């Protein structure tokens, strides 16, 4: 088994598309990704259709996924407790992912809730996940700073991580929501978290412009990060980003980076190539 865990993020890639991608097209694309051998597929979200119209068919897409011939786990994004209840009903879903912003402004914009109120919801979600045999994955969003002037420092990140871990949450992703993280920040912050909280699975969800991905991924890898979120062709990213070129880190770039280091990711490149070809049907 590969030491590397890759989460492929078609949901993050698709959610901002202007035109609605048909359910069958989404499902076919995700089924191809399931054959690739990624650790996890971030496949959809149980959120308000008014907020994210593209994800209104997540349950219908899930019904069309072939989970019988894959080892990949499914991750669904949720924005409130109602969404958690809906997602937890589906046996095929392993992870419920909640974006917990350490920026008050962004938490209000993203989930219409304060940080403190959101943390209360996180506690309820964790209780639900334990009861339903699910894993709650919490994204520390705006984890490297924010554009609003809200307080950010490494102590704040560590403090919120400690509070989440105290509630029994073992899966945390450090999220560079708008692509502002510097390699120096990554080298400082990621080891601080892993050294302070051994045994916790810390992933990293980075956004970048096409010409800055390498330095960020390299900084994370050199900091002993082994769990990366990526999206094929770098599609998607945060709609709040000030730069239209800021998107997800392209999966093929990370695969190439790891291949040059002689690391076997376990990804089936034949199916990956097929998914690359089919992606045009989804993204145009």
60-113, pLDDT tens digit by residue? 999 999 999 899 999 999 999 999 999 999 999 999 999 999 999 999 998 889
In order of 29, 34, 159, 272, the CA distances from 66 in angstroms are 11, 8, 40, 16
Number of other residues whose CB lies within 10 A of the CB of residue 43: 29
Which band of pLDDT confidence, cut at 50, 70 and 90, is reported for residue 210? confident
Residues pairing with 52 in the sheet: none
Alpha helices in the chain (DSSP H): 10-14, 23-36, 58-63, 81-88, 104-111, 115-132, 154-166, 183-196, 213-222, 251-260, 269-283
Across the range 272-278, mean pLDDT stands at 98
Across the range 173-200, mean pLDDT stands at 96
Q: Which helix (H) or strand (E) holds 49?
A: none
Cα separation, 248 vs 233, in Å, equals: 8
Q: What does pLDDT average to over the chain?
A: 94
Which band of pLDDT confidence, cut at 50, 70 and 90, is reported for residue 245? low
Residue 149 has pLDDT above 60, yes or no: yes
Across the range 170-196, mean pLDDT stands at 96
CA of residue 110 relative to chain centroid, distance: 15
Domains of the chain: 5-283 (3.20.20.70)
Cα separation, 263 vs 241, in Å, equals: 32
The pLDDT value recorded for residue 269 is 97
Cα separation, 245 vs 247, in Å, equals: 6
Nearest to 161 by CA among 104, 100, 110, 217: 100
Q: Are 228 and 203 in contact (CB under 8 A)?
A: yes
Which band of pLDDT confidence, cut at 50, 70 and 90, is reported for residue 240? very low
Which band of pLDDT confidence, cut at 50, 70 and 90, is reported for residue 238? low
């Amino acid at each position: 088994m590969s030491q590397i865990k890759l989460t492929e993020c078609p949901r993050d890639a698709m959610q901002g598309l202007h035109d609605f991608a048909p359910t069958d097209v989404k499902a076919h694309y995700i089924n191809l990704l399931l054959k690739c051998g990624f650790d996890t597929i971030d496949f959809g979200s149980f959120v308000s259709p008014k907020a994210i119209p593209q994800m209104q068919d997540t349950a219908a897409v899930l019904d069309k996924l072939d989970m019988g011939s894959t080892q990949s786990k499914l991750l669904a994004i949720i924005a409130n407790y109602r969404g958690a209840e809906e997602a937890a009903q589906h046996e095929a879903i392993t992870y419920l992912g909640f974006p917990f912003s350490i920026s008050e402004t962004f938490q209000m914009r993203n989930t219409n809730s304060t940080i403190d109120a959101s943390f209360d919801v996180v506690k309820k979600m964790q209780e639900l996940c334990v009861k339903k045999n699910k894993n709650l994955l919490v994204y520390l969003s705006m984890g490297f700073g924010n554009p609003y002037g809200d307080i950010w420092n490494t102590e704040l990140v560590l403090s919120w991580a400690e509070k989440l871990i105290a509630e029994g949450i073992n899966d945390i992703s450090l999220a560079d929501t708008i692509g502002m993280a510097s390699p120096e920040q990554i080298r400082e912050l990621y080891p601080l978290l892993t050294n302070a909280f051994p045994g916790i699975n810390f992933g990293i969800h980075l956004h970048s412009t096409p010409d800055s991905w390498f330095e960020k991924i390299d900084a994370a890898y050199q900091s002993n990060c082994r769990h990366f979120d990526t999206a094929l062709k770098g599609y998607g990213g945060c709609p709040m980003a000030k730069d239209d070129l800021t998107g997800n880190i392209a999966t093929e770039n990370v695969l190439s980076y790891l291949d040059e280091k002689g690391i076997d990711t376990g990804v089936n490149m034949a199916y990956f190539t097929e998914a690359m070809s089919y992606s045009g049907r989804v993204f145009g």
